[in-house]
Amino acid sequence: MKKFFLIVIFSIMFFPLSIFAESGSISITSSSSSAVVGSNIKVNVAISSNAEAWDFTIGYDKAKLRLVNSTMESEGVTSVGTSLTNSSRNYTLTFKAIDSGGASIYVSDGVLYSENESVLSLSKGSKTINVITEEELKQSFSSNNNLSSLSVVGYDLNPSFDKKTLKYTVELEAETTDITVNAAVEDSKATVTGTGNIAVSDGNNNIVISVTAENGEVKKYEINAVVLELDPIKVKINNKEYTFIRKKELLSIPNGYVETTVNIDNVEIPALHSNVTKFTLVGLKDEKGNINLYIYDKDKKTYTLYNEIKFKSMSILPLDMKMSLLPKGYVKSDLSYDGKKIVAYKYKSSSKFGLVYGLNTETGDKNLYMIDSVDGTVQRYNGEMIKSLNNEINMYKMVIIGLVILDILFLIILLIVKIVKKKKNKKRNSNLNIDESSHEKLMKMIEKQKKKNEKKSLYSDMEKL
């Protein structure tokens, strides 16, 4: 028994090459096991052996795949070679998927030869690619966009979380500045945004957590995080309730404004003031937690949304205007600029230019401004040029009207001349008709007299006889 093991060990130690040279393998791998119709698939073919020579061909489903590129020697799918000095060689083939279904790629007619030209055993690999259409791909994606959990650290949601419930409320302690929102998706292929550390301010804070399914469908969960105020001050504008912002760091300061305060219900409220515009601005938060600046009129106790438009060259605050300032032909329309809709006046609804009456917040000038929504530029409306053009147009109109009047007079004269000429011709024809009638009568008289004379002559001749 010991002799047998020694013989086996001795054989492995001294004759390993002769053993491994007796066989080889060809493997086929791909970058993906599936593909969409119209896309390309890269396939790697690897031959591993110490054989002296080889000859093999790669076959594939030509009804579902089309060969685009290959590094193999002959016809793109056949390799014939000798002296494989390395233990392996690799080839790359690129196919285009042309029809759906299982598409097989395989080794056909593969042969390995030893040094004495004897055929060696060969392990042949294969690969099946699952080709699907774009529609099948979409249907294969998950549509699950549910959350499996939702929470605000340290607080309870109202109502308790349920994946089918999309809106929640949470009450936070006064002077809370931030909260942590945690959420987990029900499907690992879905993604979620809107979680983590969220800044909050006094009053309502609308927090949106979006869940996107693998197929792209989005579901939105909302949390209304209410930061309780010690003494909230509210105001109604157009039947909507707003809360005064009492933390100045929450106010965005426009150019030319400085910090100040105003007294509302005997409470000092942070505000902003400009010596140029003469406006005083306060911050108000709506029921959804959106904070905006409003123009505060102390005497009238009114609040007007401060909607400053920042252009590349200046900042304009739109104002109400008298329609008499508007040039003729312009109508009210929306103008898109920097992702916002501006109420402007256009000559044509499709125009990219619009007029806005506003206040230059840097100079305090009030003017009509021409806005170019494409270039994002603005300049004072040049009414003088338009007046000059209108005067030229009016002059041309007068010239055209004068030419038209002359043409009409010329036509009238021609018509009168034609009528007069026609009357003269008619009179002449009438006279000719009269002359012809007299001549005819005269001829008849002559003829009659002639007959009388002939008859008289006849009687005279008879008397002579």
Q: What are the boundaries of each domain within the chain?
A: 22-139, 147-227, 235-305, 310-385
* Confidence band for 313, pLDDT divided at 50, 70 and 90: low
pLDDT for the residue 11: 39
* Confidence band for 10, pLDDT divided at 50, 70 and 90: very low
Q: Name the residue among 51, 56, 47, 52 with its Cα closest to residue 25.
A: 47
DSSP at 33: S
Q: Which DSSP helix (H) or strand (E) runs through 434?
A: helix 383-464
**Which residue matches tokens 């008397």?**
463
In whole angstroms, give the CA distance from residue 83 to residue 139: 50
Half-sphere exposure in the Cβ direction for 282 (13 Å, CA)? 24
DSSP at 20: H
**Which residue matches tokens 């002769």?**
18
Our CA dihedral for 163, 167, 172, 174, rounded to 10 degrees, sits at 170
The domain made up of 22-139 is a member of CATH 2.60.40.680 = yes
Q: Name the residue among 226, 290, 235, 224 with its Cα closest to residue 262.
A: 235
Burial class (CB in 10 A: 0-12, 13-18, 19+), 311: middle
pLDDT for the residue 374: 76
Tokens representing 109 are 């007619």
pLDDT for the residue 431: 57
> Rounded to the nearest 5°, which phi and psi values hold at 339?
80, 5
Domains 22-139 and 147-227 equal at CATH topology level = yes
Q: What value does the mean pLDDT of the chain take? A: 82
pLDDT for the residue 225: 93
**H-type helices in 21-148, by residue range?**
134-140
pLDDT for the residue 21: 42
Name, in order, each residue with C-beta under 8 angstroms of 307's C-beta and a sequence gap of 6 or more. 317, 318
What is the SS3 assignment for 440? helix
pLDDT for the residue 435: 56
Tokens representing 298 are 């102390």
pTM of the model: 0.44
Q: How far is CA 424 from the centre of its chain?
A: 78
DSSP at 325: G
Q: Name the residue among 393, 346, 339, 394 with its Cα closest to residue 368.
A: 346
Q: What is the pLDDT of residues 325-380, one digit of tens each?
A: 777 778 888 887 777 777 888 878 778 788 888 888 878 888 888 887 777 777 77
What is 147-227's CATH topology? Answer: Immunoglobulin-like (2.60.40)
The residue type at 396: Y
More confident residue, 150 or 394: 150
pLDDT for the residue 438: 62
Contact 378, 316 (CB under 8 A): yes
The residue type at 207: I
For residue 255, is pLDDT > 50? yes
In whole angstroms, give the CA distance from residue 38 to residue 99: 8
Q: What is the pLDDT of residues 96-118, one digit of tens each?
A: 999 989 999 999 888 887 777 77
What is the SS3 assignment for 392? helix
